[in-house]
A = this chain, B = another copy of it.
């Protein structure tokens, strides 16, 4: 067993179990919008939590990822010392058609 910077594996919520209000609240935040937009432009599992250019500390970043997991937007897994991410694009689109498109388009 290798040492990890995370004690327990992250909890996830499937988009099918997410109320629309939770999804909207998760996306209505400037830091989380950056995370989602950067993930949308990156290959699955290619981005560790520390690789995002957002102006928040570690604890706040961890909270933001927790909100994104709870809204069915992000899946995470631990790879050795790193926690890596993917955007749950297909599942989230199936649950909330068009919502990610609105968030990801340039405006």
Residue A19 lies at the interface, judged by CB distance under 8 Å to chain B: yes
Give the contacts of A55-95 with B (CB-CB under 8 A): none
Q: Which residues of B contact A98 (CB under 8 A)?
A: 97-99, 102
Q: How far is the CA of A28 from the CA of B22 in the complex (A)?
A: 7
How big is the A interface, by class? 10 to 19
Q: How far is the CA of A33 from the CA of B19 in the complex (A)?
A: 12
Contact with B along A1-37 (1 / 0, CB 8 A): 0000000000000000001110011011110010000
Residues on B with beta carbons closer than 8 Å to the beta carbon of A25: 24-25, 28
Chain B residues within an 8 Å CB radius of A24? 24-25, 27-28, 103
